[in-house]
Amino acid sequence: MKFHDFFYYNKSDRNVILVLLAIAVASLTALFFLGNDEISVGEGYQGTAQATNNKSAGNKPTPYYKTEERVAELFPFDPNTADSTTFLRLGLQPWQVRNIYKYRAKGGVYRHPADFARLYGLTQQRYLQLKPYIRIGQSYLPAALLPEAQERKVRHDSIVVHYTPKMKEGETLDLNTADITQLQHVPGIGPYYARQILNYNKRLGGFADTRQLMEIDGFPTAALKYFTVNRAHITKLNVNRLTLAQLRHHPYIGFYQARDIVDYRRLRGPLKSLDDLSLLKSFTPETIERLRPYVEF
């Protein structure tokens, strides 16, 4: 449309056209200015972001002290007296040093280098590196390591141990006359069983049969063939004269049996034979036979 054609339109049409032109011009103007702003904003944002990143990178938290990796040293030390500086120089961590201090404060003592290996967090490799340098002071060493204790140990180790010769097959020993040394010549009999034999012999009043040895707890059966018994050495019990306490001392007479004997004597008079014991319920035939070599009236 040419410019002079504009005047051929009526007034209302011309007004509409002017309004449309004004809107178009305003729109183009706005696009022009807003486009530049967006570009500026975008560039500004990128610049700001870059600056922020740079600032953030420059504002990273810095430690209050510079962390330096310590180089562990190796030198002699006593874990019972060393201070924290010494332990740190040896390459231990601060928390390990605190544990050592707590252990010592509670009365803990490192008496052997191996005790230090129990330190929490101490690796085997690190312990093996430190072990040759651990020096335990004399005040903390076990008493067994004192010179006089070691001297006694050396003297003890130097003593020649003499073994008691044993009896040969076919040789025998009388149970009622043998002493503790002779008893130890019997194969299978040492100091313990020798004492047990003598103690039981005393309580019985003498052995009446070698099989009585089996009444000793754990007695070795193989040793029986080396013993004989001479009943002439048996000490008899006078059941009519002994008190209740004396009677019950014998291994074959218990409290109730001793009481029955005393009651029998009180009610009926002295016992005259083993048959009188058979009248008492507490005495079985087996018990009477075991007592036969030992009682007298």
The answer for 170, left when phi > 0, alpha when psi is -120 to 50, beta otherwise, is left
Tell me the pTM.
Answer: 0.47
CA atoms within 13 A on the CB side of 105: 7
Residue 6 confidence (pLDDT): 56
Reply yes or no on whether the pLDDT at 158 is more than 80: no
Reply yes or no on whether the pLDDT at 257 is more than 90: yes
Q: Which of 19-23, 40-44, 210-214 has the lowest mean pLDDT?
A: 40-44
The string of pLDDT tens digits covering residues 53-76 is: 554 444 555 444 444 556 889 899
CB 203 within 8 A of CB 216: no
As a whole number of angstroms, the distance between CA 227 and CA 188 comes to: 12
Residues 6+ apart with CB under 8 A from 295: 236, 237, 238, 239, 274
Residue 35 confidence (pLDDT): 54
As a whole number of angstroms, the distance between CA 216 and CA 148 comes to: 42
Closest CA to 239 of 204, 214, 203, 264: 264
- Give whichever of 64-78, 97-111, 143-157, 171-185 has the largest mean pLDDT: 171-185
CB 104 within 8 A of CB 79: no
What integer is the mean pLDDT of 78-100?
A: 92
Measured from the Cβ of residue 109, the count of other Cβ atoms closer than 10 Å reads: 14
* Cα→Cα distances 34→22, 23, 24, 38, 138, Å: 18, 16, 15, 6, 91
Residues 6+ apart with CB under 8 A from 222: 187, 188
Runs of H (alpha helix) within the chain? 11-58, 84-89, 94-105, 113-116, 124-130, 147-158, 180-183, 191-204, 244-248, 255-268, 274-277, 285-291
H/E element holding 174? strand 173-174
The residues facing 77 across adjacent strands are 134
Query: How big is the CA angle at 244 (ends 241 and 245), to the nearest 5 degrees?
Result: 110
Instruction: Find where tokens 């305003």 sit.
Output: 26
Residue 9 confidence (pLDDT): 62
Per-residue HEC secondary structure of 191-256 comes to HHHHHHHHHHHHHHCCCCCHHHHHHCCCCCHHHHHHEECCHHHCCCEECCCCCHHHHHCCCCCCHH
Distance of CA 123 to the CA centre of its chain: 21
